[in-house]
């Protein structure tokens, strides 16, 4: 196994090559603009209790929050949207150096299909309307759609520099994290036509999450150690700060269930930055482990699973106590990266970025259940379907 330092250096070098190459990105389902109204109705009626307006939505057009005390209230086991309830359960693994997506059956823990996609697929992203999975072909400058009902691959869509992909909570825009181009590109979530391009002064726009009312989102800038705050409706940057750590390399971004605290993984600071997003003041560091990378909320909204890629562990955060309560050790040489939680909440799935494998971990015990061989450089895998009314993007942020 390589040392963490070598891995980090290799990743940084590869990413800088990507920035020189540029790419493309896109949005939500694969239909026409006329589907937007239907998709909004689907999202609003997708889970029990959605008919009652528990809390007002801040961003116009955003489905109302089910529980103002828990933004993940629609993500409980069994709360599958009618849109996805008949989709087969699968784990989709983008292999960045193989230009493929490995499809795993979570019941057998085996690869059942290998799909050819574009050059350097980074993430598999569920569309806002839940109907499409988009493969972000970073250096191929395309998005490859997958129909999660059939597993069939559709025609690629030209989108430049699609390192990562998000959707605004109202379903109005897809937001492409154009890392190499140093842009946030707002696109139509169905046609992928550009609606607005927002240049950024930081390097490596990467991951994001949205405020409970949807009015702003926070973005990590991996290569300059900065954070951005963006007004969703205006599509404008309203805040920018550099993290207080030399060589900071922020990664995944995730909001606490009560919507008050933001967590930003940092693989060089070896922990999470804890941020007040509303005030956007200087965050504090919570150490977790070497190479802190991916952040995933449990189905009961009580815990968050944190992948520490540089040491092959997963830390567990207790939201109520605001403290780490466990650290799970994976197999020797493991490099846990991005992933997601099973629909029933019992299994955490993570890609092994440097080891051409995927890990399945029992969330009740922390025991590693399986180690599954896949293609080269597995990265932002998506577990699908999952509970939730609509997707905010990445490997699956559902609300």
Compute the distance between CA of residue 220 and CA of residue 241 in angstroms, rounded to an integer: 10
In this structure, what is the dihedral angle of CA atoms 187, 177, 256, 334, given to the nearest 10 degrees?
140
pLDDT at 314 over 70: yes
Burial of 164 (0-12, 13-18, 19+ CB in 10 A): buried
CA 29/CA 131 separation, integer angstroms: 5
CA dihedral (255, 224, 9, 114) positive or negative: positive
pLDDT per position as a tens digit, 349-381: 999 999 999 999 999 999 999 999 999 999 999
pLDDT tops 90 at residue 273: yes
pLDDT category at 171 given cuts 50, 70, 90 is very high
pLDDT at residue 100, rounded to an integer:
98
Rg (C-alpha) for the chain, rounded Å, is: 19
pLDDT at res. 183: 98
pLDDT tens-digit series, residues 33-90: 333 344 444 444 443 333 334 444 589 999 999 999 999 999 999 999 999 999 999 9
pLDDT per residue over 92-142, tens digit each? Answer: 999 999 999 999 999 999 999 999 999 999 999 999 999 999 999 999 999
The pLDDT tens digits for 224-242 are 999 999 999 999 999 999 9
Q: Kindly state the average pLDDT of the residues 20-43.
A: 39
Mean pLDDT of 291-301: 98
Residues 6+ away with beta carbon under 8 Å from 12: 223, 249
Give the per-residue pLDDT at 58: 85
Q: How many CB atoms lie within 10 A of CB 367?
A: 11
More confident site: 206 or 12: 206
Position 170 pLDDT exceeds 70: yes
Phi, psi of 44 (to 5 degrees): -75, -20
* 165-186 mean pLDDT: 98
Q: Is pLDDT of 308 > 70?
A: yes
For residue 9, what pLDDT is reported? 42
pLDDT for residue 31: 39
Instruction: Please report the pLDDT score of residue 40 as a whole number.
Output: 43
Q: Which domains does the chain have, with CATH numbers?
A: 4-384 (2.130.10.10)
Q: What is the pLDDT of residue 8?
A: 40
Residue 5 in this model has a pLDDT that exceeds 80: no
Residue 18, pLDDT above cutoff 80 = no
Residues with Cβ within 8 Å of residue 212, at least 6 apart in sequence: 58, 65, 68, 71, 255, 259
Q: How far apart are CA 23 and CA 86, in angstroms?
A: 33
Distance separating alpha carbons of residues 251 and 239, to the nearest angstrom: 18
Residue 294 has pLDDT above 90, yes or no: yes
Percent of the chain's residues with pLDDT above 70: 86
What is the rounded average pLDDT for all residues in the chain?
89
């Amino acid at each position: 196994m390589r040392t963490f330092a070598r891995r980090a250096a290799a990743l940084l070098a590869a990413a800088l090559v990507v920035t020189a190459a540029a790419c493309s990105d896109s949005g939500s389902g694969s239909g026409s603009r006329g589907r937007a109204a239907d998709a909004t109705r689907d999202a609003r009626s997708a889970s029990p209790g959605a008919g009652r307006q528990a809390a007002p939505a801040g961003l116009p057009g955003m489905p109302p929050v089910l529980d103002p005390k828990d933004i993940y209230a629609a993500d409980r086991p069994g709360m599958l949207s009618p849109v996805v309830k008949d989709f087969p359960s699968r784990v989709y693994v983008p292999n960045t150096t193989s230009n493929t997506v490995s499809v795993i059956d979570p019941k057998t823990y085996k690869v059942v299909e290998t799909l050819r996609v574009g050059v350097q697929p980074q993430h598999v992203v569920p569309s806002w309307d839940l109907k499409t999975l988009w493969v972000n072909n970073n250096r191929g400058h395309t998005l490859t759609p997958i129909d999660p009902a059939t597993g069939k691959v559709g025609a690629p869509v030209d989108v430049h520099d699609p390192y990562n992909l998000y959707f605004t909570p109202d379903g109005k825009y897809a937001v492409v994290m154009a890392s190499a181009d140093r842009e946030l590109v707002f696109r139509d979530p169905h046609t992928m036509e550009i609606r607005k391009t927002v240049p950024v002064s930081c390097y490596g726009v990467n991951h994001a999450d949205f405020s409970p009312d949807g009015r702003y989102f926070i973005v990590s800038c991996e290569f300059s150690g900065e954070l951005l705050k963006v007004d969703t409706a205006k599509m404008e940057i309203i805040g920018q700060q550099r993290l207080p750590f030399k060589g900071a390399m922020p990664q995944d971004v995730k909001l606490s269930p009560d919507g008050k605290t933001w967590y930003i993984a940092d693989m060089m600071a070896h922990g999470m930055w804890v941020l007040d997003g509303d005030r956007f003041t200087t965050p504090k560091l919570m150490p977790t482990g070497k190479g802190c990378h991916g952040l995933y909320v449990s189905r009961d909204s009580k815990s968050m699973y944190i992948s520490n890629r540089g040491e092959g562990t997963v830390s567990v955060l207790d939201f109520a106590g605001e403290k780490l309560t466990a650290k799970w050790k994976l197999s020797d040489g493991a490099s846990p990266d991005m992933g997601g939680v099973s629909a029933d909440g019992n299994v955490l799935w993570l890609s092994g970025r440097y080891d051409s494998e995927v890990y399945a971990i029992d969330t009740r015990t922390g025991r590693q259940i399986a180690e599954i061989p896949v293609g080269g450089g597995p990265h932002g895998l998506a577990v699908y379907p999952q509970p939730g009314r609509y997707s905010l993007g990445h490997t699956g942020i559902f609300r």
